[in-house]
Amino acid sequence: MGQVKTFEEVILSWYDLFHKIPEVSWKEYETTNAIAAILDELKVSYRRFDDMTGLVAEIGQGKEVIAVRADIDALWQEVDGVMQANHSCGHDANISMVLGALLRLKDIPLKKRIRFIFQPAEEVGGGALEMVKRGIVDDVSYLFGIHLRPEEELPFGKIAPAIHHGAALFLQGGIRGVDAHGARPHQGKNAIDIIVAIQQMLKNIYLNPFDVYSVKLTKVVADGGSVNIIPGNATFSIDIRAQKNHVLNSIQFLVEDGLRSISNMFDTEIYWDWYDKTPGAEVSEEAMKIVEKAISDTVGEGFLEKPVHTPGSDDFHFYTVSKPNLKATMIGIGADLKPGLHHPHMTFNKDALAIGAKVLAKTLFNATEYK
């Protein structure tokens, strides 16, 4: 930590460090090493993995385990015309706040153990599942997460005890038809006709209007090579979002049923593959109450905001879907973040980092006292 004196300066120095070394999913080598170096300096024990990035640290004693997760990967995106790794989702901030909470708690007597999970590959939706496979949350009773929120969700200073992320699911598919001359369409099987039918099918999916959901084509490629060639083949992508997991599952069933019907109607092969399914939030009321008290204790009841509902997704919720008895919630930190998450030039008020770290530390401590 060098000449850094205050808690706020420590948090900012960590943020600056991680912000300068963004790394994409499963390749967070330098980030993992930097976290390990900080833990060595703090004299906190940790466990690394032989076959993947990320690590897990632990403090305290006792049988019961409270845990907190920080996602450590960055996005791969275009920034000013250059493709590069970029921390536009704020994971560098999340790492810093979780380390800040550890710093505040490491020398305090604790009745339970607190596990700090520095997880890779949130952006591709696989990191949480790998942690689950390795048994990292098998003995955990309460799990907390933390994330900066866009200014339209939370202004600076306001803190939400839960983030209700939506569920997301993606499809990549293709059509194997028959090319034809533009003058003889009857001799072919036009992939564009089939794409239009798929679009209409998606628009005819109607569920309970009180549920929040969307389903849409996001990519279509159909090219016969010339203006006068009708393309028989095409590829397409579908993006599905829903606030509730069972709604997402219903849409998935309807899309598959619709694609099979269209394939039969046109007597043409349609193939598809589902990938990167991210579940919606399953928020524990008990965990949320622990956070609410921590917010009131730390910054005052006037800064406590209602839970945030957002169409975005986060693989944090794989933990609760995989372990239904796990009581979990993710804390939302207002930071005047703009223009928005994943924007290549995202900015926020960095004073929020120390506030978030203090609230998180109090949350974890309160959870160790909770019966």
- 1 located within any domain: no
Residues 289 and 270 in one domain: no
Model pLDDT for residues 263-296, shown as the tens digit of each residue: 999 999 999 999 888 899 999 999 999 999 999 9
Alpha helices (H) in 208-270, listed in sequence order? 245-266
The DSSP H or E segment spanning 59 is strand 55-60
Residues 171 and 311 in one domain: no
Q: What percent of the chain has pLDDT over 70?
A: 99
Residue that is last in its domain, among 256, 278, 300: 278
- 2 located within any domain: no
336 three-class SS: strand
- Helical pair 351-369 and 7-19, crossing angle rounded to 10 deg: 110
- Separation of alpha carbons 66 and 365, rounded Å: 9
Model pLDDT for residues 204-245, shown as the tens digit of each residue: 999 999 999 999 999 999 999 999 999 999 999 999 999 999
Say yes or no to pLDDT of 4 above 60: no
Length of the chain: 371
**Which residues pair with residue 220 across a beta bridge?**
236
Residue that is last in its domain, among 257, 278, 299: 278
Predicted structure pTM score: 0.88
Residue that is last in its domain, among 278, 306, 325: 278
Residues 79 and 212 in one domain: no
Model pLDDT for residues 84-131, shown as the tens digit of each residue: 999 999 999 999 999 999 999 999 999 999 999 999 999 988 899 999
Residues 96 and 211 in one domain: no
Residues 32 and 143 in one domain: yes
Give the per-residue pLDDT at 1.
46
Domain range holding 228? Answer: 167-278
Output the domain CATH number for residue 321. Answer: 3.40.630.10
Residue 301 tokens read as 């009841």
Residues 133 and 185 in one domain: no
Output the domain CATH number for residue 247. Answer: 3.30.70.360
Domains of the chain: total: 2
- Separation of alpha carbons 51 and 96, rounded Å: 24
